[in-house]
Structure 1
């Protein structure tokens, strides 16, 4: 699913009006009606007090359309105009006149805190104060209105975006934003719904189709894309009946030190479970017995050193190499890594201490093959690209880093973002159970195993992140967040694959 910028949404509105020969007022009517349909389907005429707070722009106009339809359908509606400016949009004024024609209960003008209505916890708040066009700080009394919403503990439904939230900047004052329980977003979700600093302002979101021009929706290229099952499935490579293991590549997993052979074991096992035809682990001598006995499906090559990697020398021809898990940053290991990078031409997936070595010796970044995949956790990312002031600054730095070194960079989190070629791929799977030791090693193994099978490194990263999160989502249903460990993610990976082909459950229709 594409994530459109606010500028693109404005362009889509304009093109839709032109191509469908409708006015902006007609498009507003369509949007407000869709919100009404959404609420009516769920409320079925329930007489819960509904408080609709409308700004004086187009978002407020959407709120007025909604209020009019709710009133005409017999709902218990209180409508308010948040008088935060003397300017009113044309479509707001049209719908202000229309609502006055259907009810004697005209919208109440709010100008200060003394005008705030009483709101009970059982009531419903609809936030239609500001839309995506907000470009200035919120007035103090309006901020206090938002705090009044929150203090009421009433369910809050935001139209398009929680008021006060910007689409391209982080708000410093969390009290100057509406905290919504649900947001109905037009055309596409907003990127801020998925960033750590801004996702908290809406618990859930849903996209409403307001009939924007189909050509615009299909042909417009966006900076960000939301990745779910239906984005992953078209890229899946099926297996032929007479396939053999040689067709699915040979993954080489390099890493481990004394006491950290588990990291390499997890990555190797994940690469196999992701579908690699062959997997060889390159480890210190101390890990030989451990890995051979715990993962008989993998082959093992050992370094001459007992406790760490001091040279990287092998006589096989791997399809892809995953490197860095538990490898440490000893000077001999760093030297071995540098020598390896100077001669290596094989696609790479780099994790953990491999990233830390790159952070300490950034000249090594120029030795990476094109489209190397780098999978840092937050502190490793900071060491790599430098500190950031907020989430948007982090994305900016990460994109610049990816472009400079031609690498695929993962920003891990609740919505892991894969970055390459100025494009953001925002993942939708995963849960807090993944906050456990070894889950990153598993992700590295999955991506390595996918590249081994012939997936493009960008596609392998996107699919790998999705399957990693989906496996955890399935596993957590049986195990809970606290009991989920990295090995479980591998164990449920097969179910994550199978889920790609499951048809959605049919919706049960209520008896008439």
Structure 2
């Protein structure tokens, strides 16, 4: 699913009114009616106080349309105008007149703290104050209103985006944003719903279709795509009845050091479980017996050194190489890695200490094959990018890094983001159970195993991140968050593949995926 920018949504609005020969007021009526339909379907006439807070722009106009329909359907509605500024939008004024024509209770004007209404925990708040158009600081009395919402403990529904939250900036003050229980977003979710510093402002979200121009929605390229089951299903390559292991490539996992052979076992198992035809593990001698015993399906090659990787030479032709899990950053290992890069022609997936070596010796980046995949955890990412001031700055630096070095970068998190050039692929699978030792090694193995099967590196990364999270989502139903371990992710990879074909596929209504 595409995630449209603020500017693209404005463009879609204009094109829609032009191509459908409707006015902007008609489009606002459509949006407000869709919000009403959503609420009415869930409330079915239940009488609880509904407090609709409207700004004086188009978001406020949407709120006025909603309020009018709620009143006409017999709901218990209170309407307030948050009088923040002097400039009212044309469509707001049209709908202000319309609501005045159907009720003797004119909307109450809020200008200061003394005007705030009493709100009880069982009431409902509708936030239609600012929308995506906010472009200036918020006055203290408006911040106080947002805190009034929060203190009331009433359910808060935000229209399009929680008021005070911008689409392209992290708020400087938590008090200056509405904390929504639910957000109804027009056309697509907003990027801020998925970033660590801004996702907290809405607990759940859902996209409302307000009939924006289909051609524009389908043909417009966006900075970010949301990746869920429908998107990865289109990436999946089925197997032919007469296929054999030689058609699915040979994955080579290079890594391990004394005490860290387990990382190679996890990555190697994951590569084979993801579908690689063959897997060879290249490790120090100390891990030979352990790896052959723990993972008999793998072939094993050993370094001459007993405890570390000191020389990387092999007589096979791997389809893809995963490097770095548990390998350490010993001087001899670093030298061996550099020598390997100077002659290597195979695609690479680099994780853990492989990334740490690159961070210490950035001149090695020029030796990486184009579209090498890097899978750093947050601290490793900081070693690559340097410090960042907020999530938007982090993504900006990640895109610049990807373009400069021609690599694919996975920014791990609750919604892991695959960064390639200027494009972001935001994952929707996964859960807190993944915060466990070895889960990153498994991801490295999955991506390596997918590239082995001739998925191109970008598709393999996006698909791999999704499978990794979906496997954990299925496993957590049996193990819970706390007891999920990395091996379980591998054990449930088959179930994650099978889940791609389960029907029916439900549209996303919270922090999951949506097919446009």
Regarding TM over 0.5, the answer is: yes
Partner of 2:510: none
Partner of 2:138: 138
Residues in 2 aligned to 1:347 and 1:458: alpha-carbon distance in whole angstroms: 11
Partner of 2:252: 252
CA contact 2:187–2:208 (8 Å) conserved in 1 = yes
Residues in 1 aligned to 2:369 and 2:291: alpha-carbon distance in whole angstroms: 29
Aligned residue for 1:482, secondary structure, equals helix
Aligned residue for 2:269, secondary structure, equals helix
Residues in 2 aligned to 1:320 and 1:93: alpha-carbon distance in whole angstroms: 62
Where do residues 55-66 of structure 1 align in structure 2 (5 Å cutoff)?
A: 55-66=55-66
What whole-Å deviation, never above 9, does each CA across 1:260-313 have from its counterpart, x for those lacking one? Answer: 000000000000000000000000000000000000000000000000000000
Partner of 1:304: 304
Q: CA deviation at 1:504?
A: 1.7
Where do residues 74-473 of structure 1 align in structure 2 (5 Å cutoff)?
A: 74-473=74-473
Aligned residue for 1:280, secondary structure, equals strand
CA contact 2:68–2:99 (8 Å) conserved in 1 = yes
Q: CA deviation at 1:505?
A: 7.0
Partner of 1:21: 21
Q: CA deviation at 1:386?
A: 0.5
Residues in 2 aligned to 1:49 and 1:257: alpha-carbon distance in whole angstroms: 64
Partner of 2:52: 52
Q: 1:341 to 1:278 in 2, by over 3 A?
A: same
Residues in 2 aligned to 1:415 and 1:464: alpha-carbon distance in whole angstroms: 13
Aligned residue for 2:282, secondary structure, equals strand
Aligned residue for 1:480, secondary structure, equals helix
Partner of 2:500: 500
Q: CA deviation at 1:421?
A: 2.1
Contiguous gaps of at least 5 residues in structure 2: 508-516
Residues in 1 aligned to 2:506 and 2:306: alpha-carbon distance in whole angstroms: 58
Residues in 2 aligned to 1:505 and 1:197: alpha-carbon distance in whole angstroms: 30
Residues in 1 aligned to 2:104 and 2:504: alpha-carbon distance in whole angstroms: 46
Structure with larger RCO (C-alpha < 8 A, sep 6+): 2
Residues in 2 aligned to 1:294 and 1:179: alpha-carbon distance in whole angstroms: 49
Q: CA deviation at 1:103?
A: 1.0
Partner of 2:35: 35
Contiguous gaps of at least 5 residues in structure 1: 508-512
Residues in 2 aligned to 1:506 and 1:228: alpha-carbon distance in whole angstroms: 11
Partner of 1:510: none
Aligned residue for 1:481, secondary structure, equals helix
Residues in 2 aligned to 1:469 and 1:408: alpha-carbon distance in whole angstroms: 19
Give RMSD over aligned pairs: 0.8
Matched, 1:484 2:480: no
Residues in 1 aligned to 2:479 and 2:198: alpha-carbon distance in whole angstroms: 29
Aligned residue for 1:132, secondary structure, equals helix
Q: 1:460 to 1:138 in 2, by over 3 A?
A: same
Residues in 1 aligned to 2:217 and 2:248: alpha-carbon distance in whole angstroms: 36
Residues in 1 aligned to 2:192 and 2:276: alpha-carbon distance in whole angstroms: 36
Q: 1:398 to 1:175 in 2, by over 3 A?
A: same
Q: CA deviation at 1:427?
A: 0.2
Residues in 2 aligned to 1:415 and 1:504: alpha-carbon distance in whole angstroms: 24
Q: 1:505 to 1:382 in 2, by over 3 A?
A: closer
Calculate the TM-score normalised by the size of structure 1.
0.98
What whole-Å deviation, never above 9, does each CA across 1:204-228 have from its counterpart, x for those lacking one? Answer: 0000000000000000000000000
Q: CA deviation at 1:506?
A: 8.7
CA contact 2:400–2:421 (8 Å) conserved in 1 = no
Q: CA deviation at 1:423?
A: 0.3
CA contact 2:373–2:409 (8 Å) conserved in 1 = yes
Calculate the TM-score normalised by the size of structure 2.
0.98
